[in-house]
Amino acid sequence: MFARGIFPDVMAELPPPLQADRAQIHWVNRPASGRMSGTLFSDGSGMFPEWPQLRRAGWAVVQVDRLGNLTAAAYGAVPLDIGPQQVARDGEDYAAFMCTVLAEPPFCLYVDCEGTLECLRWQGALAKGADNPRAHLWTKYWAQFAGEDVASQKTLAHATEADIEQGRSTYWERRANGHADRLAKRGAADHGLTDLHVEHFLGLAQIAKEAARWAGEQEAWLQERELRDSTPLTGHQAKPRQELHRRKSAAAESMRGHHQHTVRAADLVDGGFVVF
Protein backbone atom coordinates (compact mmCIF):
# COMPACT_ATOMS: atom_id res chain seq x y z
CA MET A 1 0.00 0.00 0.00
CA PHE A 2 2.88 2.36 0.80
CA ALA A 3 4.45 1.73 -2.63
CA ARG A 4 1.17 2.82 -4.25
CA GLY A 5 0.92 5.97 -2.17
CA ILE A 6 -2.12 4.71 -0.21
CA PHE A 7 -2.24 5.39 3.54
CA PRO A 8 -4.61 4.87 6.47
CA ASP A 9 -6.92 7.76 7.35
CA VAL A 10 -4.86 10.24 9.35
CA MET A 11 -7.99 11.47 11.19
CA ALA A 12 -7.49 8.61 13.62
CA GLU A 13 -4.40 10.49 14.89
CA LEU A 14 -6.28 13.76 15.53
CA PRO A 15 -8.96 14.80 18.02
CA PRO A 16 -12.22 15.10 16.06
CA PRO A 17 -13.99 18.47 15.82
CA LEU A 18 -16.58 18.99 18.54
CA GLN A 19 -20.20 18.08 17.90
CA ALA A 20 -23.10 20.24 19.10
CA ASP A 21 -23.66 18.13 22.22
CA ARG A 22 -20.08 18.83 23.39
CA ALA A 23 -19.49 22.40 22.20
CA GLN A 24 -19.63 24.92 25.02
CA ILE A 25 -20.43 28.63 25.27
CA HIS A 26 -17.71 30.50 27.16
CA TRP A 27 -18.74 33.78 28.74
CA VAL A 28 -16.75 36.87 29.66
CA ASN A 29 -18.65 39.18 32.04
CA ARG A 30 -21.97 37.49 31.39
CA PRO A 31 -24.85 39.99 31.81
CA ALA A 32 -27.35 39.34 34.59
CA SER A 33 -30.06 38.78 31.98
CA GLY A 34 -27.90 36.27 30.10
CA ARG A 35 -28.21 38.30 26.88
CA MET A 36 -26.19 41.11 25.30
CA SER A 37 -27.56 44.19 23.53
CA GLY A 38 -26.47 47.56 22.22
CA THR A 39 -23.28 47.63 20.14
CA LEU A 40 -22.15 44.10 19.24
CA PHE A 41 -19.23 42.82 17.20
CA SER A 42 -19.10 39.28 15.86
CA ASP A 43 -16.31 37.36 14.18
CA GLY A 44 -15.38 33.88 12.97
CA SER A 45 -12.04 32.11 12.73
CA GLY A 46 -10.91 29.12 10.68
CA MET A 47 -7.69 27.25 11.44
CA PHE A 48 -5.58 25.65 8.68
CA PRO A 49 -7.97 26.22 5.74
CA GLU A 50 -5.47 24.60 3.35
CA TRP A 51 -5.70 21.23 5.16
CA PRO A 52 -9.27 19.82 5.33
CA GLN A 53 -8.24 17.36 8.07
CA LEU A 54 -7.02 20.19 10.32
CA ARG A 55 -9.83 22.68 9.77
CA ARG A 56 -11.39 23.92 12.99
CA ALA A 57 -13.72 26.92 13.23
CA GLY A 58 -14.61 29.22 16.10
CA TRP A 59 -16.96 32.13 16.74
CA ALA A 60 -17.34 35.12 19.06
CA VAL A 61 -19.88 37.82 19.88
CA VAL A 62 -18.66 40.84 21.84
CA GLN A 63 -20.55 43.72 23.46
CA VAL A 64 -18.57 46.97 23.68
CA ASP A 65 -18.94 50.51 24.97
CA ARG A 66 -18.54 53.65 22.85
CA LEU A 67 -14.74 53.46 23.14
CA GLY A 68 -14.58 49.86 21.93
CA ASN A 69 -13.86 48.41 25.35
CA LEU A 70 -15.23 44.93 26.02
CA THR A 71 -18.13 44.88 28.47
CA ALA A 72 -19.38 41.32 27.80
CA ALA A 73 -18.60 38.51 25.39
CA ALA A 74 -19.32 34.91 24.48
CA TYR A 75 -17.30 32.58 22.28
CA GLY A 76 -16.84 28.91 21.42
CA ALA A 77 -16.23 26.25 18.79
CA VAL A 78 -18.42 25.86 15.72
CA PRO A 79 -19.93 22.34 16.01
CA LEU A 80 -19.04 19.99 13.16
CA ASP A 81 -22.63 18.84 12.67
CA ILE A 82 -23.77 22.45 12.22
CA GLY A 83 -20.77 23.80 10.29
CA PRO A 84 -19.32 20.75 8.51
CA GLN A 85 -16.89 22.73 6.33
CA GLN A 86 -15.16 24.21 9.41
CA VAL A 87 -13.97 27.33 7.59
CA ALA A 88 -13.92 30.97 8.68
CA ARG A 89 -17.25 31.71 6.98
CA ASP A 90 -18.86 29.02 9.13
CA GLY A 91 -17.63 30.93 12.17
CA GLU A 92 -18.88 34.28 10.83
CA ASP A 93 -22.41 33.03 10.13
CA TYR A 94 -22.57 30.88 13.27
CA ALA A 95 -21.66 33.93 15.39
CA ALA A 96 -24.64 35.79 13.96
CA PHE A 97 -26.81 32.72 14.52
CA MET A 98 -25.72 32.57 18.17
CA CYS A 99 -27.25 36.01 18.68
CA THR A 100 -30.58 34.17 18.78
CA VAL A 101 -29.60 32.80 22.21
CA LEU A 102 -27.06 35.39 23.34
CA ALA A 103 -28.56 38.76 22.37
CA GLU A 104 -31.81 40.68 22.60
CA PRO A 105 -33.01 43.78 20.73
CA PRO A 106 -32.16 46.50 20.37
CA PHE A 107 -28.69 45.85 18.97
CA CYS A 108 -26.46 46.71 16.04
CA LEU A 109 -24.19 43.89 14.92
CA TYR A 110 -20.85 44.86 13.33
CA VAL A 111 -19.25 42.22 11.08
CA ASP A 112 -16.13 42.22 8.90
CA CYS A 113 -17.36 39.57 6.40
CA GLU A 114 -19.21 40.94 3.36
CA GLY A 115 -21.11 37.68 2.76
CA THR A 116 -22.37 37.57 6.33
CA LEU A 117 -23.35 41.24 6.14
CA GLU A 118 -25.48 40.57 3.05
CA CYS A 119 -27.31 37.77 4.87
CA LEU A 120 -27.89 40.14 7.81
CA ARG A 121 -29.42 42.75 5.53
CA TRP A 122 -31.45 40.55 3.19
CA GLN A 123 -33.58 37.78 4.62
CA GLY A 124 -34.68 36.42 1.25
CA ALA A 125 -33.15 33.75 -0.98
CA LEU A 126 -29.61 35.03 -0.43
CA ALA A 127 -29.77 34.10 3.25
CA LYS A 128 -32.31 31.27 3.32
CA GLY A 129 -32.13 29.89 -0.22
CA ALA A 130 -31.31 26.29 -1.05
CA ASP A 131 -27.94 27.26 -2.58
CA ASN A 132 -26.71 28.74 0.71
CA PRO A 133 -24.94 25.97 2.70
CA ARG A 134 -25.69 27.87 5.91
CA ALA A 135 -29.35 28.59 5.23
CA HIS A 136 -30.31 26.59 8.33
CA LEU A 137 -28.59 29.23 10.47
CA TRP A 138 -30.21 32.20 8.78
CA THR A 139 -33.68 30.65 8.81
CA LYS A 140 -33.64 30.66 12.61
CA TYR A 141 -32.01 34.10 12.80
CA TRP A 142 -34.68 35.76 10.71
CA ALA A 143 -37.51 33.77 12.30
CA GLN A 144 -36.52 35.36 15.60
CA PHE A 145 -35.43 38.87 14.59
CA ALA A 146 -37.61 39.75 11.58
CA GLY A 147 -39.34 43.06 12.39
CA GLU A 148 -37.28 43.58 15.55
CA ASP A 149 -35.07 46.56 16.37
CA VAL A 150 -31.87 45.03 15.02
CA ALA A 151 -29.35 46.49 12.58
CA SER A 152 -26.06 45.50 10.98
CA GLN A 153 -22.94 47.37 9.98
CA LYS A 154 -19.74 46.57 8.08
CA THR A 155 -16.44 47.06 9.87
CA LEU A 156 -12.95 46.66 8.46
CA ALA A 157 -10.96 43.59 9.49
CA HIS A 158 -7.43 44.12 10.81
CA ALA A 159 -7.55 47.88 10.29
CA THR A 160 -4.21 49.71 10.18
CA GLU A 161 -3.24 53.26 11.15
CA ALA A 162 -3.47 54.19 7.48
CA ASP A 163 -7.02 52.81 7.31
CA ILE A 164 -7.99 54.96 10.28
CA GLU A 165 -6.28 58.08 8.91
CA GLN A 166 -8.08 57.65 5.59
CA GLY A 167 -11.47 57.14 7.25
CA ARG A 168 -11.97 53.45 6.43
CA SER A 169 -12.15 52.59 10.14
CA THR A 170 -11.94 54.15 13.60
CA TYR A 171 -9.89 53.47 16.70
CA TRP A 172 -12.89 52.21 18.66
CA GLU A 173 -13.98 49.86 15.86
CA ARG A 174 -10.47 48.45 15.54
CA ARG A 175 -10.32 47.83 19.27
CA ALA A 176 -13.76 46.21 19.36
CA ASN A 177 -13.15 44.01 16.33
CA GLY A 178 -9.82 42.98 17.83
CA HIS A 179 -11.64 41.58 20.86
CA ALA A 180 -13.97 39.55 18.63
CA ASP A 181 -11.10 38.29 16.48
CA ARG A 182 -9.06 37.19 19.50
CA LEU A 183 -11.96 35.32 21.10
CA ALA A 184 -13.00 33.66 17.83
CA LYS A 185 -9.50 32.19 17.56
CA ARG A 186 -9.79 30.98 21.14
CA GLY A 187 -13.09 29.37 20.22
CA ALA A 188 -11.47 27.51 17.31
CA ALA A 189 -8.78 26.25 19.69
CA ASP A 190 -11.57 24.82 21.87
CA HIS A 191 -11.74 21.86 19.46
CA GLY A 192 -8.60 20.54 21.17
CA LEU A 193 -6.18 20.54 18.25
CA THR A 194 -2.71 21.26 19.69
CA ASP A 195 0.63 22.23 18.14
CA LEU A 196 1.80 18.66 18.72
CA HIS A 197 -1.13 17.30 16.69
CA VAL A 198 -0.35 19.73 13.88
CA GLU A 199 3.36 18.84 13.82
CA HIS A 200 2.49 15.14 13.78
CA PHE A 201 0.05 15.63 10.91
CA LEU A 202 2.46 17.71 8.85
CA GLY A 203 5.16 15.07 9.35
CA LEU A 204 2.83 12.35 8.08
CA ALA A 205 1.82 14.59 5.18
CA GLN A 206 5.47 14.96 4.18
CA ILE A 207 5.96 11.18 4.28
CA ALA A 208 2.85 10.72 2.14
CA LYS A 209 4.14 13.28 -0.34
CA GLU A 210 7.51 11.52 -0.62
CA ALA A 211 5.83 8.11 -1.00
CA ALA A 212 3.55 9.40 -3.72
CA ARG A 213 6.51 10.91 -5.55
CA TRP A 214 8.44 7.63 -5.26
CA ALA A 215 5.45 5.62 -6.54
CA GLY A 216 5.11 8.00 -9.47
CA GLU A 217 8.79 7.74 -10.34
CA GLN A 218 8.64 3.94 -10.25
CA GLU A 219 5.55 3.90 -12.45
CA ALA A 220 7.26 6.17 -14.95
CA TRP A 221 10.37 3.95 -14.91
CA LEU A 222 8.24 0.86 -15.65
CA GLN A 223 6.34 2.61 -18.42
CA GLU A 224 9.53 3.83 -20.11
CA ARG A 225 10.88 0.27 -20.20
CA GLU A 226 7.52 -1.20 -21.17
CA LEU A 227 7.62 -3.63 -18.24
CA ARG A 228 4.52 -5.46 -17.02
CA ASP A 229 3.80 -7.70 -14.04
CA SER A 230 4.18 -10.72 -16.33
CA THR A 231 7.52 -9.58 -17.76
CA PRO A 232 10.27 -12.10 -16.77
CA LEU A 233 13.28 -10.50 -15.11
CA THR A 234 16.79 -11.26 -16.30
CA GLY A 235 20.33 -10.44 -15.24
CA HIS A 236 20.77 -8.27 -12.17
CA GLN A 237 17.03 -7.53 -12.16
CA ALA A 238 16.35 -11.21 -11.42
CA LYS A 239 18.52 -11.29 -8.28
CA PRO A 240 15.89 -9.83 -5.92
CA ARG A 241 13.34 -12.40 -7.12
CA GLN A 242 15.85 -15.23 -6.71
CA GLU A 243 16.67 -14.08 -3.20
CA LEU A 244 12.98 -13.93 -2.34
CA HIS A 245 12.49 -17.47 -3.64
CA ARG A 246 15.47 -18.68 -1.59
CA ARG A 247 14.08 -17.12 1.59
CA LYS A 248 10.64 -18.61 1.02
CA SER A 249 12.16 -22.05 0.46
CA ALA A 250 14.24 -21.76 3.62
CA ALA A 251 11.20 -20.71 5.61
CA ALA A 252 9.15 -23.62 4.26
CA GLU A 253 11.92 -26.08 5.12
CA SER A 254 12.12 -24.67 8.62
CA MET A 255 8.38 -25.11 9.07
CA ARG A 256 8.56 -28.73 7.90
CA GLY A 257 11.25 -29.43 10.47
CA HIS A 258 9.13 -27.76 13.12
CA HIS A 259 6.14 -29.95 12.31
CA GLN A 260 8.29 -33.10 12.51
CA HIS A 261 9.24 -32.30 16.11
CA THR A 262 5.85 -31.12 17.29
CA VAL A 263 5.02 -32.49 20.76
CA ARG A 264 1.42 -33.54 21.26
CA ALA A 265 -0.47 -32.94 24.49
CA ALA A 266 -1.17 -36.67 24.72
CA ASP A 267 2.60 -37.36 24.75
CA LEU A 268 3.00 -35.06 27.77
CA VAL A 269 0.22 -36.86 29.61
CA ASP A 270 1.61 -40.31 28.83
CA GLY A 271 5.07 -39.24 29.93
CA GLY A 272 3.83 -38.03 33.26
CA PHE A 273 4.63 -34.37 32.66
CA VAL A 274 1.01 -33.26 33.08
CA VAL A 275 -0.99 -34.33 36.12
CA PHE A 276 -4.79 -34.01 36.24
Is CATH 3.30.420.10 correct for 10-193? yes
Count the helices and strands in the chain (H runs, E runs).
9, 6
pLDDT at 214 over 60: yes
Q: Looking at residue 244, what is its pLDDT? A: 64
Q: Which residue from 9, 10, 62 is spatially nearest to 38, judged by alpha carbons?
A: 62
pLDDT in tens, 144-155: 999 999 999 999
User: What is the average per-residue pLDDT within 165-186?
Assistant: 97
Q: Contact 127/138 with Cβ under 8 angstroms?
A: yes
Give the type of residue at 82.
I
Q: Which residue from 98, 66, 61 is spatially nearest to 186, judged by alpha carbons?
A: 61
Q: Looking at residue 269, what is its pLDDT? A: 44
Question: Where does the pLDDT of residue 240 fall: very low under 50, low under 70, confident under 90, or very high at 90 and above?
Answer: low
Question: Where does the pLDDT of residue 9 fall: very low under 50, low under 70, confident under 90, or very high at 90 and above?
Answer: confident
Who contacts 230 (Cβ-Cβ below 8 Å, separation ≥6)?
Answer: none
d(CA 237, CA 95): 63
* H/E stretch holding 253: helix 239-260
Question: Where does the pLDDT of residue 10 fall: very low under 50, low under 70, confident under 90, or very high at 90 and above?
Answer: confident
157 alpha carbon, distance to own chain's centre: 23
User: What is the average per-residue pLDDT within 61-76?
Assistant: 98
Q: Looking at residue 165, what is its pLDDT? A: 95
Better pLDDT: 128 or 73: 73
* H/E stretch holding 26: strand 26-28
Q: Looking at residue 271, what is its pLDDT? A: 45
Better pLDDT: 209 or 257: 209
Q: Looking at residue 125, what is its pLDDT? A: 79
Main-chain phi, psi angles of 187, to 5 degrees: -65, -40
Q: Contact 111/154 with Cβ under 8 angstroms?
A: yes
Q: Contact 86/78 with Cβ under 8 angstroms?
A: yes
pLDDT at 89 over 70: yes
Which sequence spans correspond to the domains of the chain?
Answer: 10-193, 197-260
Q: Looking at residue 243, what is its pLDDT? A: 63
Better pLDDT: 34 or 254: 34
Q: Looking at residue 115, what is its pLDDT? A: 95
Radius of gyration of the chain (CA): 31
Burial 251-270 (b: 16+ CB within 10 A, else e): eeeeeeeeeeeeeeeeeeee
Question: Where does the pLDDT of residue 215 fall: very low under 50, low under 70, confident under 90, or very high at 90 and above?
Answer: confident
* H/E stretch holding 258: helix 239-260
Beta bridge partners of 26: 75
d(CA 119, CA 132): 10
Who contacts 100 (Cβ-Cβ below 8 Å, separation ≥6)?
Answer: 140, 141, 144, 145
User: What is the average per-residue pLDDT within 153-160?
Assistant: 96
pLDDT at 216 over 50: yes
pTM of the predicted protein model: 0.77
Residue 66, helix vs strand vs coil? coil
If you average pLDDT over every residue of the chain, what do you get? Answer: 86
